[in-house]
Amino acid sequence: MSSDKPCEKGNGRRGFCKACIGAMTAASTAMVGYPVVSFVISQPSRIGEDKPLEVPIDQLTLGQARYEQWRGLQVIILATADGPMVFSASCPHLGCAVGWDTADSVFRCPCHGAVFTAQGEVVSGPVSDSLKQIPFEIKDGKIIITA
């Protein structure tokens, strides 16, 4: 029966058991904690951000816009009669995301009503700068944005 008595100052069997439980707790915390934390801090917009953005031209429809995310930027690819155009969706006024209005063939900003042509030039609204164009190249039937 003597072994059932609590030992002095955490030594002996009880201390050993406590140390084992502590180590196991620490190990399981790490085992659960690492996947959970790395899962939670992943950001969709940052995943694959070092890769160039590639969009096959045959997926575009004339007169319509396609929205993409690239390096944390919202990008609009517009298929015009003179070929594709690529813009940053960020409005040059205060940075809201502009959208393509297919019916009127203009870009509209939802925040303060700026309107831009299909070439990105200002039609009306509280802005003086055009929409920012993003350079791209066409290779193998794909639009490739690297810079």
Partner 1 sequence: MRLFQAIYGWFDRRYQVTPLIEKNVTHKRVPRTLGWAACFGGLSLLIFLVQVFTGMLLLMYYKPDPANAWDSVTFIKSNVSMGWLVQRIHTVSANLMIVMVLMHMARIAYYKVYRSPRELHWVSGVVLLMLTLVLAFTGYLLPWTQLSYWGAKVGTEIPGAIPVIGRDIVQWMRRGEAISGETLGFFFALHIWIIPATISAFMGMHFAMIRRTGISRPL
Q: DSSP for 78-145?
A: EEETTEEEEEE-B-TTT-PBPEEETTTTEEE-TTT--EE-TTS-EEESS--SPPPB---EEETTEEEE
Candidates 126, 130, 132, 134; binder of ligand FES (CB under 6 A) is 126
Candidates 2, 3, 8, 44; binder of partner 1 (CB under 8 A) is 44
Site string for ligand FES, 55-94 (x = CB under 6 A): ------------------------------------x-xx
Nearer to partner 1, 49 or 137 (CB): 49
Q: Tell which phi-psi region holds residue 93, choosing left (phi > 0), alpha (psi between -120 and 50) or beta.
A: alpha
Partner interacting with residue 36 (select from ligand FES, partner 1, none; CB below 5-8 Å by kind): partner 1
Please answer whether residues 96 and 111 qualify as being in contact, where contact means their C-beta atoms are separated by less than 8 angstroms. yes
Q: Which residues bind partner 1 (CB under 8 A)?
A: 22, 34-36, 38-42, 44, 47-48
